[in-house]
């Protein structure tokens, strides 16, 4: 039996302001001095304007647009149910409405990270609306993110990683491709979206470097280790591109078209079953393992931050917690008062 949720009360009508009434109060001027009326913009239209703004002005990636679109579609669906099938216009959405929406997310046991991301989407959406004139204020601004429990990242030991990297068959073209994908992700700490976006022109064999297009259209250079380079050369010698490909993607499917992130996930699941490794392992685990192994072997955290492409050092510091055992070994071996009698 599904849970029942109490819908928030519809907002009370706004009384006319003195000296002009509702019609004048609802009018604002945009930066080009054109009069806009916030009430002529329903929620679906406002969402469409916002996504166009992200795509055209912010140059947002397709994945970012997809995430924002899904978050705002979920809000629209909730408000439609709360307001008898028709969601209110953006200027009528209140903080109380959004609190009800967040309560439903909590009741459905969404993760705290998902709730925080959706709340960030709402803040951006209504901030844009206030700037454009179809929202009077930002009702999401007073809402606080849920307190997140920092989970330690799951990573593979060096022995487990070697077992995974040896799993793809060397005598099959797809096996060579899979090994090259795993080696490349581990050699440079790539996200799965970054590895499928690689083109031939991103590989610098002379400098043993990889050009990586990361989040927010930011580019960075990553190392191309000898194992990954050898695996790439073996795969590219067997790769066949589809005639319709205008680019030259490094990793393609059996039809010669660019590989998708989901395909990489399915590929990894196959080798996890084959090797009996922890089923919690995901493509991102290779990135976690890359950072953890570097810190375990003495790399400084600033260098790891640059290699991972993190904007903030705080994001990278989570990996310092999983290297505690190594630090304890160093401490007990080096500090005179740490030695046990």
Alpha-carbon distance of 7 to 317, in angstroms, equals 41
End-to-end alpha carbon distance in the chain:
62
Alpha-carbon distance of 134 to 43, in angstroms, equals 10
Both 217 and 255 in a single domain? yes
Both 70 and 171 in a single domain? no
CATH number of the domain where residue 59 is located? 1.10.150
Both 254 and 165 in a single domain? yes
Within a domain: 244: yes
Residue in 191, 229, 239, 288 annotated catalytic: 191
> Which has the closest alpha carbon to 314: 123, 143, 148, 188?
148
CA–CA–CA angle 211, 216, 310 (5° rounding):
70
Active site (annotated) includes residue 284:
yes
Residue in 127, 248, 310, 326 annotated catalytic: 310
Within a domain: 177: yes
Both 277 and 178 in a single domain? yes
Both 167 and 227 in a single domain? yes
Active site (annotated) includes residue 215:
yes
CATH number of the domain where residue 233 is located? 1.10.443.10
Query: Which of 248, 281, 314 is a domain's end point?
Result: 281
For CA atoms 182, 174, 214, 124, the dihedral sign is negative
Query: Which of 114, 132, 150 is a domain's end point?
Result: 132
Both 71 and 185 in a single domain? no
Both 104 and 209 in a single domain? no
- Under the banding of pLDDT at 50, 70 and 90, the label for residue 5 is very low
Active site (annotated) includes residue 17:
no
- Residue 137: per-residue pLDDT: 87
Is 302's pLDDT higher than 50? yes
Answer with the residue of higher pLDDT: 21 or 136: 136
Q: Which helix (H) or strand (E) holds 327?
A: helix 324-334
**Do 194 and 290 touch, CB atoms closer than 8 A?**
no
Residue in 68, 78, 101, 319 annotated catalytic: 319
Residue in 163, 213, 220, 284 annotated catalytic: 284
Alpha-carbon distance of 99 to 66, in angstroms, equals 24
Both 102 and 191 in a single domain? no
pLDDT in tens, 97-115: 999 999 999 999 898 889 9
Active site (annotated) includes residue 335:
no
- Under the banding of pLDDT at 50, 70 and 90, the label for residue 69 is very high
**Do 157 and 165 touch, CB atoms closer than 8 A?**
no
pLDDT in tens, 190-247: 999 999 999 999 999 999 999 999 877 788 999 999 999 999 999 999 998 887 777 8
Within a domain: 42: yes
Active site (annotated) includes residue 68:
no
**Do 253 and 241 touch, CB atoms closer than 8 A?**
no
- Under the banding of pLDDT at 50, 70 and 90, the label for residue 38 is very low
- Residue 340 phi/psi, 5-degree rounding, is -85, 145
Within a domain: 108: yes
Instruction: Say which residues have a Cβ less than 8 Å from residue 21's Cβ, sequence separation at least 6.
Output: none
Q: Residue 75: which domain range?
A: 27-132
- Residue 338: per-residue pLDDT: 63
Residue in 239, 287, 288, 293 annotated catalytic: 287
Within a domain: 291: no
Total number of domains in the chain = 2
Both 265 and 163 in a single domain? yes
Query: Which of 235, 266, 281 is a domain's end point?
Result: 281
State both tokens at 89. Answer: 């216009």
Both 128 and 189 in a single domain? no
Q: Which helix (H) or strand (E) holds 55?
A: helix 43-56
Q: Is the pTM of this model over 0.95?
A: no
Instruction: Say which residues have a Cβ less than 8 Å from residue 242's Cβ, sequence separation at least 6.
Output: 252, 255, 256, 257
Active site (annotated) includes residue 310:
yes
Is 341's pLDDT higher than 60? no
Residue in 215, 220, 248, 326 annotated catalytic: 215
Within a domain: 143: no
């Amino acid at each position: 039996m599904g849970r029942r949720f109490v819908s928030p009360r519809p907002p009370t009508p706004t009384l006319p302001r003195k000296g002009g009434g509702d019609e004048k109060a609802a009018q604002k001027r945009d930066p080009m001095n054109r009069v806009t009326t916030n009430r002529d913009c329903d929620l679906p239209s406002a969402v469409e304007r916002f996504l166009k703004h992200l795509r055209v002005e912010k140059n947002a990636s397709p994945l970012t647009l997809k995430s924002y679109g899904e978050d705002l579609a979920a809000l629209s669906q909730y408000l439609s149910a709360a307001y008898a099938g028709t969601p209110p216009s953006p200027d009528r959405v209140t903080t109380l409405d959004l609190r009800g929406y967040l309560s439903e997310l909590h009741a459905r046991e969404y993760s705290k990270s998902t709730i925080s991301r959706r709340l960030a989407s709402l803040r951006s959406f209504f901030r844009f609306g206030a700037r454009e004139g179809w929202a009077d204020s930002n009702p999401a601004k007073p809402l606080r993110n849920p307190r997140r429990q920092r989970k330690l990242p799951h990573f593979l030991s060096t022995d487990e990683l070697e077992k995974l990297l040896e799993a793809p068959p060397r005598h099959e073209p797809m096996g060579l491709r899979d090994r090259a994908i795993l080696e490349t992700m581990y050699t440079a700490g790539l996200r799965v979206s970054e590895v499928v976006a690689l083109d031939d022109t991103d590989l610098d064999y002379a400098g043993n470097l990889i050009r990586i297009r990361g989040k927010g259209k930011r580019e960075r250079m990553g190392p191309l280790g000898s194992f990954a380079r050898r695996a790439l050369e073996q795969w590219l010698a067997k790769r066949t591109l589809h005639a319709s490909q205008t680019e030259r993607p490094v990793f393609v499917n059996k039809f010669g078209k660019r590989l998708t992130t989901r395909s990489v996930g399915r590929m990894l699941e196959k080798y996890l079953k084959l090797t009996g490794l922890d089923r919690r392992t995901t493509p991102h685990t290779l990135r976690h393992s890359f950072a953890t192994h570097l810190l375990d072997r003495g790399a400084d955290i600033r260098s790891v931050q640059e290699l991972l492409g993190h904007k903030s050092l705080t994001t990278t510091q989570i990996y310092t917690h999983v290297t505690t055992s190594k630090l304890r070994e160093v401490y007990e071996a080096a500090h005179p008062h740490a030695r046990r009698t």
